[in-house]
Amino acid sequence: MQQQSINNMNQSQGIMMQPPVMVTVKDSLYLTDMLSWNLLAIKKAHFFAQNIQDANIKRQAEKCAQMHQKHYEKILAHLNDTNQTQTSGLQQQ
C-alpha cells in the first residue's frame, strides 16, 4: 500500500522512476535534436579552434569541442545500449 502511494505521488509530480519501454515519436525527435545540437557545437568549436591565434582561447575552444563530443557519444552509447537490450528481449520472447 505504501509503495502504491509513493508511485502515485511520483506520477503526480511527473517523476519517472524508470524509462519507458517504448520511445515516442516526440522523444525520438528530441533525441535527434540533441545529437544535432552537439554535432553542430563540435563543428563550430573545431572551426574556431583552427582559426584562433591566442593559445589560451584556442585551448578552451578545443576543450569545448571535446565536451560536446563526449555528450554526443554518451547519447549514442545510451541509445545503442537501449536498442540492444530491447532487441535481445524480443529475441528471447
The whole domain housing 63 covers 21-92
Residue indicated by cell numbers 537490450: 85
Structural domain contains residue 13: no
- Answer yes or no: is pLDDT of 30 > 80: yes
Instruction: Give CB contacts under 8 A, 24+ apart, made by 19-26.
Output: 19/82, 21/86
Length of the chain: 93
Structural domain contains residue 3: no
Distance, CA of 59 to CA of 84 (rounded, Å):
37
What is this structure's pTM?
A: 0.67
Structural domain contains residue 33: yes
Model confidence at 42, pLDDT cuts 50, 70, 90, reads very high
Structural domain contains residue 69: yes
Distance, CA of 82 to CA of 85 (rounded, Å):
5
Per-residue pLDDT of 43-91, as tens digits, reads: 999 999 999 999 999 999 999 999 999 999 999 998 887 666 665 655 5
Residue indicated by cell numbers 535481445: 88
Structural domain contains residue 44: yes
Structural domain contains residue 7: no
Distance, CA of 3 to CA of 33 (rounded, Å):
36
Per-residue model confidence (pLDDT) at position 1 = 47
- Answer yes or no: is pLDDT of 28 > 70: yes
Structural domain contains residue 46: yes
Number of structural domains (the chain) is 1
